[in-house]
Amino acid sequence: MSNQIESRRNFLKTAVAGAGAVATGAVVPAAETRAAEPMQMSMPADEKHGAFFNSDDAAAVAAFAERIFPGAPGMPGARDADVLNYIDLALAGAYSDLQEFYRHGLNQLDAHCRATYRQPFARLDAKQQDEVVAALEAGHVQEFTWPSARAFFTTLRTHTIEGMFADPVYGGNKDFAGWKLIGFPGAQEFFSKNEIQSRDAFSRAPMTGLQMQAAMPKRRG
C-alpha cells in the first residue's frame, strides 16, 4: 500500500473516530442532488447486489469504495465491510432521490475510463484507479457535466465512510469491521467502570448493533 493511500485511510479513520456520527446511523450526504423518478432496472435472479445496481455498476462502486478506504493485512477495507451492499440498499430506499445522480455519475465515470484507459474503472489497476479518483476529487474530468466530478467523488466518499462505520443494520460495516477498526463498542448492554474511564480502544466482545440490541432481553433491576 502506498504512503498516499495509507495517509488517506488514516485520515478517514481519524475523522470518523472523532465525529462518531455515522457509527449509529446514516448521514445525509451533502451533494448536488436532483429529484428523479426511481430508475427501473432488470437484474439477474442470482445477482447479489440487485436492489439498485446492475453487475457493471456494482463492480465500479465496489472498486471505487475500495480505493477510498482500501484494506490491508489485518485491517478491513470497504470490500471487507461490504460497503457496496450499504450503498446499494440505501439507493433503493432512503437515498432513492440520488438514483439519477448515481446513474449519470457512473455513466460519466465509465466514459472517462474508456476514453483514457480503454477499460471500465473496475478493470483498471490500482495506480490507474487512484489517478481517476484524484482527477475526480480535483474536478478535472471533462466527461463530467452533471453531477460534477467533484460532487460525484464527494458523494461516493461520504457513502463509503457511512458504509464502513454506520450500524450494520443498514447493510454495511459487516461483522462490525469498521467499529473494530476504531474501537467503537456499539450498543452494549452495560459498561464497567474501568471501561468508562479507559482511554484504550474498546475490545470486549461482542459488539452489538441496533438489530441485535432489539433482540436482547432487558435487564431487571
What is the spatial distance between Cα 52 and Cα 97, in angstroms, rounded to a whole number? Answer: 12
Q: What does the block give as the cell for 187? A: 450498543
Phi-psi region of 39 (alpha: psi -120 to 50; beta: other; left: phi over 0): beta
pTM: 0.76
The domain segmentation of the chain, as residue ranges, is: 3-185
CB 100 within 8 A of CB 39: yes
Q: Tell me the pLDDT of the chain (221 aa) as tens digits.
A: 455 555 555 545 554 544 444 444 444 343 343 333 333 333 443 445 579 999 999 999 999 999 999 999 989 999 999 999 999 999 999 999 999 999 999 999 999 999 999 999 999 999 999 999 999 999 999 999 999 999 999 999 999 999 999 999 999 999 999 998 888 888 777 888 888 888 887 777 667 787 765 555 555 54
Amino acid at 204: R
Question: Hunting for cell 498516499 — which residue is that?
Answer: 4
Please report where in the chains the cell 463498542 appears, as a residue. 185
Cβ–Cβ < 8 Å for 67, 80: no
Q: What is the pLDDT of residue 10?
A: 56
User: Tell me, what amino acid is at 28?
Assistant: V
H/E element, 113? helix 99-117
Is the bond into 206 cis (omega within 30 degrees of 0)?
yes
102: Cβ contacts below 8 Å, ≥ 6 apart:
52, 57, 91
